[in-house]
Amino acid sequence: MAQIKSGIIGTGFIGPAHVEAVRRLGDVEMIALAELGDEIAKEKAKLHSIPRAYGDYHDLLKDPDIQVVHICSPNTKHFHMVKEALNAGKHVICEKPLSMNTEESSELVRLADRADRITAIDFNYRFYPLNQQAAAMVRSGEVGKIYAVHGSYLQDWLFLDTDYNWRVEPDAGGESRAVADVGSHWCDLIQFITGARITSVFADLAVMIPVRKKPLKPIETYAGKELDPGDYEPRPITTEDYGTVLIRFDNGARGVFTVHQCAAGRKNRLYYEIDGSKCALAYDQEDPERLWVGRRDGPNRIMMRDPSILAPEARAIINYPGGHPEGYPDGLKQFVRAVYTAVKSGRKPEKPNYPVFADGHAEIALVEAVLRSHKTGAWADVVY
């Protein structure tokens, strides 16, 4: 089969990760990128060895050779870019959030349903083998009835008042930051594993650093920030650094999660614990090789990411034997592999094994409920 040709819009932190992931598939060629202006586009294309550079994403969408478009631009750009990419007849892989509100995301879901194209949203933590194992254990009944779920997503990349990025600005990142940016991953993963949907939330959000120092020159996400004092300007911050959210599920389970982007020493710690009537499961993304299984009537145990002992769903996304760690880049690779398998099939799967636009819409609905709850100080239903 001929190689699939793809293009990417946006090459900040996550864009190059997409480029690397598709190249690891072996039968996908990233032939073009789009950035803000010809100069940056050519510079990035040279850096990532991509042959075609477009200073305007509209020109990339007009390229007849491109079959699949990866949208990795700032959040507020996603809606229009996805819409235009679908109208241009491209398959679309979009970074989350799908859009800025449920009115927009529901429109994209309708467009995706009507289009004869593959569409996906990047909730790649589903594609860690031990998260697939956890989901398989829940589905098989091994965990039992889900009583409660709790956990957190902690980072420290915005720990200092000199830490700054477009994500802190509502005009680029949206009204919610910590919850929308990383809390959305936690919620999607928990709903995937448990098979239950979050129906209502009670949220407490906070801005820990009310004034940040914005660099006078661009700084990419997670990049070092060694600038002189005169290279900053103060900016008031309204998007949350922190949030704790009580949650209720449609199966009667309860839960709570905390997100915090000023948690010193926590680089990217997505953690959950699922308490069932037969056993409990616990997982830490910074230690992706182990799944803890807790029991009342027997010894606790640690399950390793070893294909010889895991469920078929987990084995299917493992490429290396036990003891050969797989982590973030591998999860993203397995996500794009699932999507490109659908692209190569030439038809939409009836039951996609990857997150679709409807999943992206659901997370936006959840974030809107969190914001409503925080503003009113009351429980808010998630309106899907």
Tell me if 345 is assigned to some domain. Answer: no
Tell me if 328 is assigned to some domain. Answer: no
- Tally of structural domains, the chain: 2
Classify residue 222 as exposed, middle or buried by CB count within 10 Å of its CB (0-12, 13-18, 19+). middle
Task: Give me the pLDDT at residue 230, please.
Answer: 67
Query: Do 73 and 217 share a domain, yes or no?
Result: no
Tell me if 343 is assigned to some domain. Answer: no
Query: Do 96 and 13 share a domain, yes or no?
Result: yes
Query: Do 241 and 366 share a domain, yes or no?
Result: yes
Structure tokens at 190: 């928990």
Query: Do 185 and 308 share a domain, yes or no?
Result: yes
Tell me if 294 is assigned to some domain. Answer: yes
Residue 165 domain boundaries: 125-323+362-376
Asked whether 153 and 123 are in contact (CB, 8 A), the reply is no
Query: Do 234 and 136 share a domain, yes or no?
Result: yes
Tell the residue number behind the tokens 């819009």, with chain if given: 9
pLDDT per residue of the chain (384 residues) written in tens, 0 to 9: 579 999 999 998 899 999 999 999 999 999 999 999 999 999 999 999 999 999 999 999 999 999 999 999 999 999 999 999 999 999 999 999 999 999 999 999 999 999 999 999 999 999 999 999 999 999 999 999 999 999 999 999 999 999 999 999 999 899 999 999 999 999 999 999 999 999 999 999 999 999 999 988 766 665 655 556 568 899 999 999 999 999 999 999 999 999 999 999 999 999 999 999 999 999 999 999 999 999 999 999 999 999 999 999 999 999 999 999 999 999 999 999 999 999 999 899 999 999 999 999 999 999 999 999 999 999 999 999
Q: For residue 97, what is the DSSP state?
A: P
Query: Do 181 and 57 share a domain, yes or no?
Result: no
Query: Do 91 and 189 share a domain, yes or no?
Result: no
Query: Do 249 and 306 share a domain, yes or no?
Result: yes
Tell me if 384 is assigned to some domain. Answer: no
Alpha helices in the chain (DSSP H): 14-23, 38-47, 57-62, 78-87, 102-114, 129-140, 170-173, 178, 184-194, 312-315, 328-345, 357-376
Query: Do 371 and 263 share a domain, yes or no?
Result: yes
Query: Do 92 and 173 share a domain, yes or no?
Result: no
Query: Do 157 and 105 share a domain, yes or no?
Result: no
Query: Do 109 and 140 share a domain, yes or no?
Result: no
Tell me if 280 is assigned to some domain. Answer: yes
pLDDT tens-digit map of 68-109: 999 999 999 999 999 999 999 999 999 999 999 999 999 999
Task: Give me the pLDDT at residue 232, please.
Answer: 87
What CA dihedral angle connects 174, 177, 183 and 184, to 10 degrees? Answer: 20
Task: Give me the pLDDT at residue 1, please.
Answer: 56
319: CATH: 3.30.360.10
> Which residues lie across from 214 on neighbouring strands?
233
CA-CA distance, 251 to 181, in Å (whole number)? 26
Tell me if 105 is assigned to some domain. Answer: yes
Tell me if 183 is assigned to some domain. Answer: yes
User: Which amino acid, residue 322?
Assistant: G
80: CATH: 3.40.50.720
pLDDT tens-digit map of 240-277: 999 999 999 999 999 999 999 999 999 999 999 999 99
Q: Which CA distances in Å does 259 have to 156, 179, 237, 248, 272? A: 11, 6, 17, 17, 12
